[in-house]
Amino acid sequence: MKRNVVLGMLLVLAIVISGCTQTPATNQKTDSETKTDVVTTASVVNTEGAFIKAISKDGTWIIATLNDLKINSDLVLDGTFVNGKKDDAGNDIVQRKIGLYTQDEARNVTARFTLTAPKITINSPKASIEHGTFVGDVYVTATDFQLKDQKIEGNVYFTNPEAQATFKMDATSSITGVQELKQ
C-alpha cells in the first residue's frame, strides 16, 4: 500500500513538472503593463517551510501539497507569476495556484488535503485555491481570485471593491463564514 502511495505521488510530481515550462524571470515593465516578478515551474511540498517558501514572491506559480499542513502563522501568497503559456494574442498568462490535492495521469483528483492557518492573504493576481480545504480566514487584495472545488472553513474578506467584484467560485466550492468587503 505504501509503495502505491509513493508511486502515485511520484507520478503526480512528474505530471505537474512535465506540464510546466521554466523560463527566465521577466522584470521589464512599461506604464501599461503589470510587472511579472518571476516565471517558474511547480513546487510540490509536504512541509511548513517548503510551503511558506513556495507561496512567497520568490516561490513558484503552482504550489501542490502532498499532505495536510497546519501552520500556526499568517500566510501571504505574494508575487505576480506567469505559467509559461501564452494567450491568443501571444501574451504571457498570469496565474498562481495552490493545489491542495494529488491527481492521477488522467488528471482525476486522487486525494484532497487540508491547509490550516489563522489567515492567508492573497496578493497574487489571478490566483486560485483548488480541490481541498482551507481552515482559516482568507483576505483577498488581488483581482481575479478563484476557488475551484474548494472548501473554506472560515471567512473571505475582500480588502478592496475590485477584488470583491472579480472573485469567482464554482458550484462545488463553499465558504462556511461570511464574504464581505473589509477595508
Instruction: Please report, in tens digits, the pLDDT of each residue of the chain (183 residues total).
Output: 544 444 455 444 444 444 444 333 333 333 334 454 444 456 899 999 999 999 999 999 999 999 999 999 999 999 999 989 999 999 999 999 999 999 999 999 999 999 999 999 999 999 999 999 999 999 999 999 999 999 999 999 999 999 999 999 999 999 999 999 998
Tell me which residue has cell 511540498.
45
Angle of CA points 56, 58, 61, to nearest 5°: 75
* Domain span including residue 74: 2-22+35-181
Residue 71 belongs to some domain of the structure: yes
Residue 54 belongs to some domain of the structure: yes
The C-alpha torsion from 127 through 132 and 136 to 141, rounded to 10°, is: 10
Residue 27 belongs to some domain of the structure: no
Number of domains in the chain: 1
Verdict on whether the full-model pTM lies above 0.85: no
Residue 170 belongs to some domain of the structure: yes
Residue 28 belongs to some domain of the structure: no
